[in-house]
């Protein structure tokens, strides 16, 4: 078998899409496994939807994921240029070739005529598509009208009029489409720009693409691509159309129902390795059912033939769970580095401090952003909270005063500030004040961390140490006393 040359061909039309990463992952892994090349091509022929910053953000997002390409617009390669907008002359030349072979023809039909045709076909519930009026024009006459008269025209693919087109999708088997159902596709628009179909096939041939691994939505265009490749006498690549990612309601994944921008996942604190693992699971599974696996294992074991054809539902909760798994694998130094790069370090955080607080919060971490959220109180003062948060459950705010005062005093008298001593001291306070554990712990928790949810109170005290704990309990006590008019003191 040839060494694979595979590609992705994203269009720079907006934020880098999670679907691009999904398809890139399969292409990348396949190329790596087989020692082939993974190519990044930029499909930017649709100038109406083009966004200049989009290309750069596609590069950045794919690099963040670690899906590096061997050839592409920014790294070059033997088939450069890799941006379709820079390949116009190649397409022009290839179209002339198709015209000369009779595999394509010039069409002079006006937009008005085509509009009427479409309307009529709709009314009669006929198959929509070009009716072939210009197919029979004399090619020399058509060339003269185009080149000498400068008449506006497009170039269309001459789909054979009878019979059918047969091709293979490697995941689905042989597919037969009646030629009557394949439209005489426009290959070159009237402005001289190629359509996606032409540019795509010309480039896949020029780049020596062996396997086209792309989203299922392109399956419907594949007969046209196969006809085109054959018209060029070029080998037809092996096609693998991977199932689309889906919203919970099984519709195609969309912005309205799911986050789809790779930049979003990054800014929300997802790890690239977790997102890759998650995307791999959408179309593949390990033989042993293990769900947490790295890119290295995926590269080793993945085969294109094993892509599953289910309709993978994009389940953010699953991703969140996976992300937690990967976060817990990081050492404090690694985590610190990730947070630093993503500018998500809690204010005032240093590596040693992170190493101390990490064991206390690690079990509840789901995203990088959780660190600042859950440990901000450790590196700085607790975030400002309403005094009412100090109110013990089912009690009055004033009842928080003895709780805070007694626990502060008890802790201040400890000979050793360690877990067993803290536990005994607080239990004594609880029994003396005749309160339940949540009634004791809630005001303390808020006083110490500014949060209603936090790690266990003993852990919080231990990691803060005696002085900081005392200061916070005192400050909270003062607020309670002030708010309850000193009644409780």
Task: For residue 296, give both structure tokens.
Answer: 């290295």
DSSP 8-state class, residue 281: H
CB within 8 Å of 330: residues ≥ 6 apart = 338
Mask of contacts with ligand GLU, 367-396, x by CB under 6 A? Answer: ------------------------------
Contact segment (CB under 6 A) with ligand GLU among 3-11, 99-107, 186-194, 431-439 equals 3-11
Q: Which is nearer to ligand GLU, 42 or 422 (CB)?
A: 42
Instruction: Report the DSSP pairing between strands 173-178 and 211-215.
Output: unpaired
Q: Phi first, then psi: what are they for 233, rounded to 5°?
A: 60, 35
10 binds ligand GLU (CB under 6 A): yes
Q: Which is nearer to ligand GLU, 46 or 97 (CB)?
A: 46
Closest by CA to 371, choosing from 394, 399, 343, is 343
264 binds ligand GLU (CB under 6 A): no
Closest separation in Å from C-beta 46 to ligand GLU: 9
Spatial distance between the Cα atoms of 30 and 9, rounded to a whole number of angstroms: 16
Spatial distance between the Cα atoms of 240 and 222, rounded to a whole number of angstroms: 11
Q: Which is nearer to ligand GLU, 9 or 154 (CB)?
A: 9
The DSSP secondary structure of 325-340, one letter per residue, reads HHHHHS-HHHHHHHHH
Contact segment (CB under 6 A) with ligand GLU among 4-12, 68-76, 238-246, 410-418 equals 4-12
Closest separation in Å from C-beta 211 to ligand GLU: 11
Closest separation in Å from C-beta 264 to ligand GLU: 19
Q: Which is nearer to ligand GLU, 304 or 426 (CB)?
A: 304
Spatial distance between the Cα atoms of 132 and 261, rounded to a whole number of angstroms: 41
Contact segment (CB under 6 A) with ligand GLU among 8-16, 177-185, 251-259, 407-415 equals 8-16
Q: Which is nearer to ligand GLU, 50 or 264 (CB)?
A: 50
Number of chain positions touching ligand GLU (CB under 6 A): 7
Q: Is the dihedral of CA 82, 83, 86, 89 positive or negative?
A: positive
**The only residue of 214, 238, 405, 479 in contact with ligand GLU, by rule CB under 6 A:** 214
Spatial distance between the Cα atoms of 144 and 133, rounded to a whole number of angstroms: 18
362, 327 in Cβ contact below 8 A? yes
Closest by CA to 372, choosing from 345, 348, 354, is 345
**The only residue of 50, 108, 193, 218 in contact with ligand GLU, by rule CB under 6 A:** 218
Where would I find the H helices in 66-209? 88-101, 111-123, 139-147, 196-206
Contact segment (CB under 6 A) with ligand GLU among 9-17, 60-68, 125-133, 387-395 equals 9-17
Quick check: helix, strand or coil at residue 291? coil
Q: Which is nearer to ligand GLU, 218 or 385 (CB)?
A: 218
452 a catalytic residue:
no
Burial of residue 281 (CB within 10 Å: 0-12, 13-18, 19+) is buried
Closest separation in Å from C-beta 294 to ligand GLU: 26
Closest separation in Å from C-beta 247 to ligand GLU: 19
9 binds ligand GLU (CB under 6 A): yes
Spatial distance between the Cα atoms of 462 and 352, rounded to a whole number of angstroms: 16
Task: For residue 114, give both structure tokens.
Answer: 């085509």
Closest separation in Å from C-beta 24 to ligand GLU: 11
| Catalytic residue (one of 125, 189, 252, 255) | 255
Closest separation in Å from C-beta 236 to ligand GLU: 14
Closest separation in Å from C-beta 23 to ligand GLU: 7
Q: List the beta bridge partners of residue 176.
A: 166
Q: Which is nearer to ligand GLU, 251 or 396 (CB)?
A: 251
Spatial distance between the Cα atoms of 480 and 401, rounded to a whole number of angstroms: 6
CB within 8 Å of 142: residues ≥ 6 apart = 105, 106, 108, 134, 153
Closest by CA to 21, choosing from 270, 337, 321, is 270
Q: Which is nearer to ligand GLU, 204 or 406 (CB)?
A: 204
Using CB under 6 A as the binding rule, the residues of this chain from 36 to 65 that contact ligand GLU are: 43
**The only residue of 200, 439, 454, 469 in contact with ligand GLU, by rule CB under 6 A:** 200
Catalytic residue set: 255
Residues at the contact surface with ligand GLU, assessed by CB under 6 A: 9-11, 43, 200, 214, 218
């Amino acid at each position: 078998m040839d060494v694979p040359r595979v590609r992705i061909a994203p269009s720079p039309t907006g934020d880098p899409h999670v679907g691009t990463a999904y398809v890139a992952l399969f292409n990348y892994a396949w190329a790596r496994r087989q020692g082939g090349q993974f190519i990044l091509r930029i499909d930017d022929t649709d100038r109406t939807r083009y966004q200049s910053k989009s290309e750069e953000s596609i590069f950045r997002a794919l690099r963040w994921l670690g899906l590096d390409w061997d050839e592409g617009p920014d790294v070059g390669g033997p088939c450069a240029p890799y941006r379709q907008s820079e390949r116009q002359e190649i397409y022009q030349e290839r179209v002339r070739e198709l015209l000369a072979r009779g595999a394509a023809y010039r069409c002079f039909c006006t937009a008005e005529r085509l509009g009427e045709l479409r309307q009529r076909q709709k009314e009669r519930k006929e198959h929509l598509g070009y009716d072939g009026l210009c197919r029979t024009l004399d090619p020399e006459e058509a060339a003269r009208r185009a080149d000498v008269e400068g008449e506006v025209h497009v170039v269309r693919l001459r789909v054979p009029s009878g019979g059918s087109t047969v091709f293979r999708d490697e995941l689905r088997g042989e597919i037969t489409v009646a030629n009557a159902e394949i439209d005489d596709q426009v290959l070159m628009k009237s402005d001289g720009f190629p359509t996606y179909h032409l540019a795509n096939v010309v480039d896949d041939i020029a780049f020596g693409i062996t396997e086209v691994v792309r989203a299922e939505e392109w399956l419907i265009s594949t007969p046209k691509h196969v006809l085109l490749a054959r018209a060029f006498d070029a080998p037809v690549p092996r096609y693998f159309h991977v199932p689309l990612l889906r919203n919970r309601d099984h519709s195609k994944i969309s912005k309205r129902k799911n986050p789809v921008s790779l930049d979003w996942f990054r800014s929300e604190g997802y790890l690239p390795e977790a997102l890759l693992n998650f995307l791999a699971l959408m179309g593949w599974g390990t033989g042993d059912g293990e769900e947490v696996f790295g890119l290295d294992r995926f590269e080793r074991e993945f085969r294109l033939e094993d892509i599953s054809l289910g309709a993978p539902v994009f389940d953010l909760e699953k991703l969140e769970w996976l992300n937690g798994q990967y976060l817990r694998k990081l050492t404090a130094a690694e985590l610190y580095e990730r947070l630093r790069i993503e500018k998500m370090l809690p204010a005032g955080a240093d590596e040693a401090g992170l190493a101390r607080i990490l064991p206390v919060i690690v079990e509840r971490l789901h995203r990088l952003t959780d660190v600042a959220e859950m440990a901000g109180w450790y590196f700085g003062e607790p975030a400002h909270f309403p005094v009412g948060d100090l109110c013990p459950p089912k009690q009055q705010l004033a009842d928080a005063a003895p709780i805070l005062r007694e626990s502060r005093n008890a802790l201040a008298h400890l000979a050793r500030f360690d877990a067993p001593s803290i536990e005994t001291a607080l239990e004594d306070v609880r029994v003396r004040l005749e309160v339940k554990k949540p009634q004791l712990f809630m005001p303390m928790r808020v006083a110490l961390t500014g949060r209603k949810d936090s790690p266990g109170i003993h852990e919080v005290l231990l990691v803060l140490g005696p002085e900081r704990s005392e200061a916070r309990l005192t400050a909270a006590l003062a607020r309670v006393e002030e708010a309850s008019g000193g009644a409780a003191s």
